[in-house]
Every structure is written in C-alpha cells, then in structure tokens.
Amino acid sequence: MRIVIGTDHAGFFLKKALSAHIRKLGYQVVDVGAHGTDTVDYPDYAELLGRTLIDGLAERGVLICGSGVGASVAANKMPGIRAGLCHDTYSAHQGVEHDDMNVLVLGGRVIGPELARELVTAYLGARFSGEERHQRRLKKVFALEERMHKPRLITPDRYDAVLLDMDGVITDTASLHATCWKTTFDEYLQQWATRNAVPFRPFDIAVEYKLYVDGKPRYDGVRDFLKSRGIDLPEGAENDPPTAETICGLGNRKNELVNEVLATSGVDAYPGSVAFIKYLRRMGIKTAVVTSSQNCQAVLRAAKIDDLFDARVDGRVLIEHGLAGKPSPDSFLKAAEMLGVIPQRSVVIEDAIAGVEAGAAGGFGLVIGVDRKGNAEELKASGADIVVNDLGQLINGFFTQRFEPAA
C-alpha cells in the first residue's frame, strides 16, 4: 500500500519521523512536502495530498499542520477525501473501520512523535468493515457530497453497474498484446512473403491492430487481419500447437508470447482506474470485467486487483456459452445478466473501437471511451457518449465534453 504524506512548515520534523516509521511498517511513502521549515500555507499541501489520492497514486494519506484543524478543514473540501483529526488510537482505528477515513490528520504542535507513531500504526492497520450500517451511512455521505459539489457522472441513482474492458482500460496490457500480435504476424508474414515471392509488409500496430484485432477474441482477430491481407488459412483447432499454420495456431502462438511476458514482467494496473473502481464499490455500484482475453484471471491476479469485480466475462466464458465476441454486445449483455442488472442502468467503459460499438449496440445507458491511443474522435464516431483520457477523471467529473444522462 502506498501512503502519501504532506505537511506545512509546522509539521516538517514530525513528517520526517513518520515517513521513516511508515517505511518501517512496510509501506511505500509518497512525500508531497513541505521540504523545509520556511513558512508555507497548509491548504496547498492538503490539495497536493488530496490530488495524489484522487488520482490513485496512493491509497491513504497522513496530513499534518500545527494544530491539525486547518489541514483537516482544507482536505475535506475535496470530493472523495474523508479526513479525520485524531489524537487517540481509538479514533484513528475506528475512523477507518466505520467511516472509511482515508486521511489521518495530526497536529504537529499538539502531539509528540511517539504518540504520532502509535496513531499511524493504528490507522494503517485498520480496514473498512463493510458492515451494512456503515455502508448505508457512507452512501449518505456520498449523497451529501454529490449535492454540494459538481455533479458526478456515475452515481447509484442513475446506474447499478459498470462493465469495464480489461486491456487498456484497467490494466496497462494493451501495448503488451499489440507487441505480441506484431511479433506473431510478422513471423508468419515473413514466411508467407518468402514462399509466395512477394515483398514482406509488416503488421502495422498503429492502423491494423485497431482495425482488425483490438478488443476481439483471439481467433477472430487472426481471421479478420489475414482476410484484410487476402490470406486464407484453415481454421484448425483450439489445441493446435503454436507452430501450426492455422487460424488457431497463430492465435495460440500469440497467447504463448503473452504468457511468457506475464511470467517474466508482471502487469501494472492504471492507478486512476483502480481508484475509480474502488470509488464505485464504495458507493455500492457493481463492477464487472468484460474481455475477450483468455488470460483475464491471470492478468488480474498479477495486477493484484482480482478482488475488485463482482463478475468476470472473458474468452473462456465466451466459448463456454457460445457467445459472439465484440463488436457483438453479447459479452456485455452476459455480464449485466450475471450481475442481475439491466443494460439501461449499466455503463460500458472501453478503449477499443469494437468494444465501444458493442456497448452502443447493446442499448447500455452510457458508453465511455478511454483514449489511450489518440483515437478520441474514432471512439466518439463508434458510439462513445463521452471520451476520457483516464478513469480518474470520472471520479470528480473532470471531463471536457458535457454529457447529460437520460432521465
């Protein structure tokens, strides 16, 4: 867990002591300052700390000023921040257990380093209980925040569930898949060009990946790309070896490359996406991952986020239920069915053209495109109601295109 710590000049020395203590407890520290004892203003550092949490770059915060009061007031002006001034261990622990407090505020001129260490230990050792009474009260806090701040796009009164693609939306694996596809196709295209005495034309990630492969089930991607090049291969079988010159063989070769990378390099989840999904779950909105990848479970586990979803529809589920891949809406409709929600009260979030088309075709209440490839206009043209660059923008409504949800 990453802990962001910040202070004004009055808490500088206490911040140094607590940073060392937090590291000793086994956590990563993100230090947003201040970095000296020259006089500064506490609201500036409350904002820096709050922004770090909102952007998903840390999971909890420790904020210090002279009394702790000013920093607490400033931090609680930010949507999504639940700061508590605690100078006893009971409050530091219970504030998390009952109220999902995500910022512990301390008075650097009120308490000494020994008590401060005990408070931080109690705070970081606590977990939100999730009990119904606490969930109910926290939802009322969110509703109060909603009424007082800029209206958010996704709230429980409008939507019951959010269905997210994995690669490029939740995890930073879209580029991994694109690279493995290029390796697979270039190996085959080189052999095919030599055999047919024609010039070798490599696979174009910038154009062909988006047009023919991105977001589709593995074998569909192989089939559609080869068709675009006028190459006809036999279908083969799912258990074809990676060396087989078949649709399935090429697809299995790509899968083999992906598994090699997962085993050696691991996977990162986008911090803004993780923060957004946790924000949804705190509000009681259901979440599902919807992907054509058969590596879904392994990827989510590698990124340590497999506990953030109520349902999973992946390549294996598509095969098991005989569902068509994207741009058909089947996979998203299956996810809605598994969650017990209707499409009209569900949100689809996709970075692929085929996925956005699937969301639009399925009659979902809102389709959000994620522009990580510089293709915002294509996503809009394919059916996205709005387009964002990062899911962290959806927490506080920081998107540029105005959108009014249907009544």
- CA of residue 324 relative to chain centroid, distance: 25
Q: What are phi and psi of 25, to 5 degrees?
A: -75, -10
Read off the DSSP letter of residue 328: S
310 carries an active-site annotation: no
Given a contact cutoff of 8 angstroms between Cβ atoms, the answer to whether 150 and 80 are in contact is no
- Assigned token pair, 55: 């952007």
How far apart CA 401 and CA 383 sit, in angstroms, is 14
Q: How far is CA 164 from CA 47, 113, 314, in A?
A: 29, 44, 11
User: Given 100, 167, 240, 385, which residue is catalytic?
Assistant: 167
165 carries an active-site annotation: yes
For residue 79, the one-letter residue type is: P
How far apart CA 149 and CA 143 sit, in angstroms, is 10
Element (H, E) at 49: helix 42-54
Burial degree of 132 (CB within 10 A; 0-12, 13-18, 19+): exposed
User: Given 8, 100, 160, 165, which residue is catalytic?
Assistant: 165
Q: How far is CA 127 from CA 44, 93, 108, in A?
A: 28, 8, 25
Read off the DSSP letter of residue 69: H
How many CA atoms, within 13 angstroms, populate the side-chain half-sphere of residue 205? 13
- 94 contacts: CB under 8 Å, gap ≥ 6: 126
In three state form, how does the secondary structure of 257-317 look? Answer: HHHHHHHHHCCCECHHHHHHHHHHHHCCCEEEEECCCCCHHHHHHHCCCCCCCCEEECHHH
- CA of residue 248 relative to chain centroid, distance: 31
What is the total residue count of the chain? 407
Residues labelled as active-site residues: 165, 167
